[in-house]
Amino acid sequence: MEDGEFSMELDMAVRVVHLACALCRRVQEGLVSADNAQVMTKDDDSPVTIADWSVQATVSWILSEYFGSKNVSIVAEEDVQTLSKPDSRTLLSAVVKTVNECLAEAQRYGLQCPPSELGTSEILEAISRCNSTGGPTGRHWVLDPVDGTLGFVRGDQYAVALALIENGEVVLGVLGCPNYPLKKECFDYHYKAATPKSSQPCSDTFEKGCVIYARRSYGGAWMRPLVHGDEKLEWPNSASLVRVSSIDDPALATFCEPVEKRNSNHSFTAGLAHSVGLRKQPLRVYSMVKYAAIARGDAEIFMKFARTGYREKIWDHAAGVIIVEAAGGVVTDAGGRPLDFSRGIYLEGLDRGIIVCSGPILHEKIIGAVYASWDSSSL
Ligand SMILES: *[C@@H]1O[C@H](CO)[C@@H](O)[C@H](O)[C@H]1NC(C)=O
Ligand SMILES: *[C@@H]1O[C@H](CO)[C@@H](O)[C@H](O)[C@H]1NC(C)=O
Ligand SMILES: *[C@@H]1O[C@H](CO)[C@@H](O)[C@H](O)[C@H]1NC(C)=O
C-alpha cells in the first residue's frame, strides 16, 4: 500500500474486514452443517445474531486496541441491551466463544491477538463502545457487522461493511462479501440464469468471497479475494482494480434492487425501469453486495425506494458509496443530490430514494424518469 492520507486506517480496515468475513463464514458453516445444534437452529435468527454481535465486538476491540479506546468513535448497528439480559446468557456465551476463536486467528491477518482470552465483560464493553452517533465533525468509524441478515441465514449474499467518516465525508470504505463469486460469469449464472444450466460453469465449490475497498484520493476501487485454508493475508498482494461497466444503453443495462418488498417499492422501480427502457428482469440481491455489483461492473443500476417514513442509516451505505464512486459510478438521492453522511446515524434530508449508476448517462435518465413519474405515484 502506498503512503498517503488514511493509508494506515485503510490497511487496518481491510485486515479487520477479512477477519470479520472469516468469522461470519465459520458461523454460517455451523448453520449449514448444523451438528453443533443447540443455538444454531435454522428457524430462529440466533446464528445471524451471534455473527452480528461477534463481528461488532471483534472490530471494536481491534480498532480500540490500535487507535486507543478513548480515541475511537464507532457508529454501529447493534446495541448491548438485549445481550445483557439474563435470558440471553446462551447467546452471550456463544458470542464470547466466537469472538475468542476469531481473535485467536488475528495474526494470520496481520492483526494483534489479545494476550489472553477476552472475558464476558470485556466483550460487552467492546460492543457498547460502538455507541457513537457520528455527526458533522471528527472521525467516526461506521460499521454494519452483518448486512443482509436474511441473505446470511439463507446462505445467500450478505456483507460486512466498514467505513470511516471525517468531518461528515466518507474517506474510506471496505465491503466484505463472503459469498460473492470472484468471476462475473458465476454471478451472472446465479442471478441472471443467463447461462444454460447444463454447462455448469460454476459449481458449488466455485471460488467466492472478496473484499472491495476504496480510499479518498487514492485512485480507484480495489478487490482482493478472501484468504482460504491456512493462507496468510499478504496485503495488498493479489488486489486488482475494479471498474464500473461501460454500458450506457438502458436496453442492455441490468438493474438490481433489494429482495424484500418492504425495503423498496418494486412496482415503482418496475415503472421507472419501463419508462427508461430497461428490458431485463431486475436482479434482487440481498445486502450491500448490490454496491459491489455496480463497482465490479456486474450490473449498471441499483435503485431503492423505501416506504415513506423509513429512514436510511449511514452504515447501510457509507462503504458502498465511496467504493462505487471510486470505481467510476454515480450515487445520489432521487433528487440528484449526494447522500449526506454528516447528520448523525440517519441519512437526513434524503430525497425519496437512492440511485446508484455506473455512469452519468444512465443516471440522468433515471432521475428524469423519477421526476416524470412522481406526480402519478403516491409512494
Ligand atoms: C486521536 O485520533 C486523532 C485522529 O482522529 C489523532 O490525530 C490523535 O493523535 C489521536 N490521539 C491519541 C492520543 O491517540
Ligand atoms: C457510550 O458508552 C460509553 C461507555 O461505554 C459512555 O462513557 C459514553 O458516554 C456513551 N456515549 C454516548 C454517546 O452514549
Ligand atoms: C409503490 O409505488 C406505486 C406507484 O408505482 C404506488 O401506487 C404504491 O402505493 C407504492 N406502494 C407503497 C407501499 O408505497
Tell me the DSSP string of 169-223.
Answer: EEEEEEEEEEEEESSHHHHHHHHT--S-GGG--S-TT--EEEEEEEETTS-SEEE
Protein residue with its CA nearest to atom 7 in ligand 2: 129
* CATH of the domain spanning 250-376: 3.40.190.80
- 51/102 Cα distance (integer angstroms): 11
In the chain, the N- to C-terminal Cα span, in Å, equals 46
User: Higher-confidence residue: 239 or 217?
Assistant: 239
Q: Which of 70-79, 186-195, 337-346 has the highest mean pLDDT?
A: 337-346
pLDDT on residue 87: 83
Indicate whether 359 pLDDT > 80. Answer: yes
Give the three-state DSSP class for 306. coil
> Sheet containing 354-357: which strands, arranged edge to edge?
283-284, 255-257, 301-304, 354-357, 330-333
pTM: 0.92
CB-based contacts of 261, cutoff 8 Å, min separation 6: none
Indicate whether 153 pLDDT > 50. Answer: yes
Q: What is the mean pLDDT of residues 189-215?
A: 70
pLDDT on residue 81: 84
Indicate whether 35 pLDDT > 60. Answer: no
Indicate whether 379 pLDDT > 80. Answer: no
Indicate whether 377 pLDDT > 80. Answer: no
- Tell me the CA–centroid distance for residue 295 and ligand 2, in Å: 36
Contact 275, 364 (CB under 8 A): no
**Residue 71 beta carbon below 6 angstroms from any ligand 1 atom:** yes
pLDDT on residue 45: 59
Domain residue limits, the chain: 7-242, 250-376
Minimum mean pLDDT range among 64-78, 81-95, 149-163, 357-371: 81-95
CB-based contacts of 348, cutoff 8 Å, min separation 6: 311, 340
Contact 175, 319 (CB under 8 A): yes
**Residue 69 beta carbon below 6 angstroms from any ligand 2 atom:** no
pLDDT (tens digit, 9 = 90+) per residue, 86-125?
888 888 999 999 999 999 999 999 999 999 999 999 999 9
248 is in an annotated binding site: no
Chain position carrying cell 462505487: 324
Which ranges constitute the DSSP H helices of the chain?
7-32, 46-67, 81-84, 89-103, 120-128, 149-153, 184-191, 266-276, 289-295, 318-326, 360-374
Protein residue with its CA nearest to atom 14 in ligand 2: 131
Indicate whether 34 pLDDT > 80. Answer: no
pLDDT on residue 32: 58
Indicate whether 57 pLDDT > 80. Answer: yes
pLDDT-derived band at 187, boundaries 50, 70, 90: confident
Ligand 3 residue neighbourhood (C-beta within 6 Å): 265, 267-268, 271, 307, 377-379
Question: Hey, which of 65, 66, 67 would you mutate to test ligand 1's pocket, going by the most ligand atoms within 8 Å of its Cβ?
Answer: 67
Q: Is 332 a catalytic residue?
A: no
Contact 302, 356 (CB under 8 A): yes
Percent of the chain with pLDDT over 90: 72
* CATH of the domain spanning 7-242: 3.30.540.10
Q: CA of 228: how far to CAs of 18, 124, 244, in Å?
A: 11, 30, 27
pLDDT-derived band at 285, boundaries 50, 70, 90: very high
pLDDT on residue 176: 98
Indicate whether 190 pLDDT > 80. Answer: no
Strand partners, 80: none
pLDDT on residue 43: 45
- 49/220 Cα distance (integer angstroms): 34
Contact 241, 222 (CB under 8 A): yes
Q: What is the mean pLDDT of residues 174-180?
A: 96
pLDDT on residue 272: 94
pLDDT-derived band at 44, boundaries 50, 70, 90: low
Question: Hey, which of 131, 133, 140, 345 would you mutate to test ligand 2's pocket, going by the most ligand atoms within 8 Å of its Cβ?
Answer: 131
pLDDT on residue 1: 45
Give the ligand whose atoms come closest to the C-alpha of residue 370.
Answer: 3
- Residue 377 CA, closest ligand 3 atom number: 4
Q: 49, 52, 298, 332: which one is catalytic?
A: 52
77 is in an annotated binding site: yes
Q: CA of 91: how far to CAs of 97, 177, 351, 379, in Å?
A: 10, 25, 39, 39
Q: Is 351 a catalytic residue?
A: no
pLDDT on residue 40: 44
- Tell me the CA–centroid distance for residue 206 and ligand 3, in Å: 39
Chain position carrying cell 430525497: 351
- 54/112 Cα distance (integer angstroms): 17
